[in-house]
Structure formats: structure tokens, C-alpha cells
Structure 1
């Protein structure tokens, strides 16, 4: 199991969205690492977060008339529907299904963020501020030392 961690690669350049995404990572990680006994108590804040997170982004899409908003909002609705169904299963003791959903959320989130949420942030910044978001990444994991020019070598 890959445990989700916050990293600069997840930054999109919109402070409110970035803060919401960092919160998602925090609550998802807590649920991932929870014991079976603690999982129901840690699923509650994850579910509450998903509701706030999706409502916030959906409102942003409507307010800014984001062109592909329906597709993005439909994805939010499908994820929330699944999370609510799992809540009922977890209450009945189905911890394994809850763990499966959390694993799927952790796998889904970076792709969703980098594609759909990134497009939304670009749209919002361009329409409100006239330009692309500025993102300062301190720990770029994809940068490899061997791709940097070495001093003293021909070039």
C-alpha cells in the first residue's frame, strides 16, 4: 500500500484549492494508517472533507462558468456517492471495503488534481487575474541529478 503524502508536486497555484488538497492528503493519510478499530472514527472527517472539498470546487466552477464543469462535477458526485455507500457498509462492519475505497481515493486524487483541478485553477486564474498560476515547488521529485550539467565537463 502506498501511503499518500503531501508534496509540492501536488501544488496547483491557487491558495484555497491547494489548502483543500493538503487537507485531503491529511485526512486520507490518517484513514489509511488507522487501525480497524479506529477507522470508523477517522472515516467521518474524510467524508466531511470530501463534501466540503467538492462543494467548494463545484461552486468555483459555477461562479466562473468553467466550460467543462459538468464532467468535473459529475466525477465529484460519483466519488461522493461511492464514499456515502461505503459509510453505510463500514457502519455494518465492512472494514475491507472501506480500506479499498480509501486506496482508490489515494490513487485517484493525484490524477484528478493534475488534470481536472489543474484545468480549473488555470481557468480561474486566467479569468480573474489574467494569467496562469505561479507555482513554486521546493522539492521536485522528478528532477534527477544526472540530468543536471556537471561542472568541468564539455558542453
Structure 2
């Protein structure tokens, strides 16, 4: 994937995260926005930001899990299990935050920012490809802007 996250910086959406299945791209943009809000929230704004992230993750993962089940996506078990593990962590951290542990909440934001690009690149990209093929009859088309190429032109 062309998108990456710099350690210690809030994650921000860019076209490198696009996978070509529009419903998934929309929910992923919302996810990035929720994680950014958590990473940037002042201490007194952490609980509302965390609550928004919990609500988003529950809906996001349920929707992707439903897509995988309804379309008989072959690699769904690993993907569903990863969603369950992340959601469990999100719920546990929310409880710790309410008990006053701000540090673990801040760490969760950074960990999610580091986790998402790889998850999207490996697991979600396969699902996006599958969904495009099943619903549209072809491969996803992705138009990316303002990305720096890893390949330099020859002189």
C-alpha cells in the first residue's frame, strides 16, 4: 500500500488507503477520522472520542463481517477473528479510560494508527477485490492523487 503512518503522528486519510470498493472506502475514512480524533483529543475529550470510536468499530466490523458471510468470502475466519480481537481491545481500553487510565487510551490511538494500514492492505484489500468481483463483475478501480511514487523516473 502506498499509505503509511509516521510513528508519533496522528493518522490522516490519504488516497493510499483507497481499496476501490466505495462502501468500504467510506467506512475506512470514518475509521481514520475516529482514530485521529482520539489521538488529538484533549484529556477532557477522550471519553466522547473513545465512545465514538467504539460505536464506529462495532458498526464497521459488523458490516465487513456481514459482507464476508453473505458472499462466502473464503478467507473470512482470520479477518473476522482480527476484528473480534481489535474490538475486544477497544472495549477493554474504554473501561480503563473511564476508570481514569488516560495513558492506555492514548496508546490505543497510536496502536490503531499503526495497525490499520497493514490490515487494510492485506485483509481488507482482498475483501474489496472479492466484493467488486461479486457485486460489479470486475476488479476494483482506484484513482489516487498526490501520492509520491516509490519508483523514480529514468533520465
**TM-score of the superposed pair, with normalisation by structure 1:** 0.91
Instruction: Tell me if the contact between 1:12 and 1:133 (Cα under 8 Å) persists in the aligned partners.
Output: yes
Q: Which structure's CA Rg is the greater one?
A: 1
Residue 148 in structure 1 maps to residue 141 in structure 2: no
Q: Which residue of 2 aligns with 1:129?
A: 136
Instruction: Tell me if the contact between 1:9 and 1:141 (Cα under 8 Å) persists in the aligned partners.
Output: no
CA distance in 1, matches of 2:30, 2:148: 21
Misfit runs of 4+, over 2 Å: 127-130, 141-144
Q: C-alpha offsets along residues 51-79 of structure 1, whole Å, 9 cap, x if unaligned?
A: 11101100000011000101100000000
Identify unmatched segments of 5+ residues in structure 1.
151-155
Number of aligned residue pairs:
148
CA distance in 2, matches of 1:133, 1:140: 18
Tell which deviates more after alignment, 110-119 or 120-129. Answer: 120-129
Identify unmatched segments of 5+ residues in structure 2.
1-7
Q: Which residue of 2 aligns with 1:45?
A: 52
Q: RMSD over aligned Cα, in angstroms?
A: 1.2
Report the CA distance between 1:116 and its aligned residue.
0.2
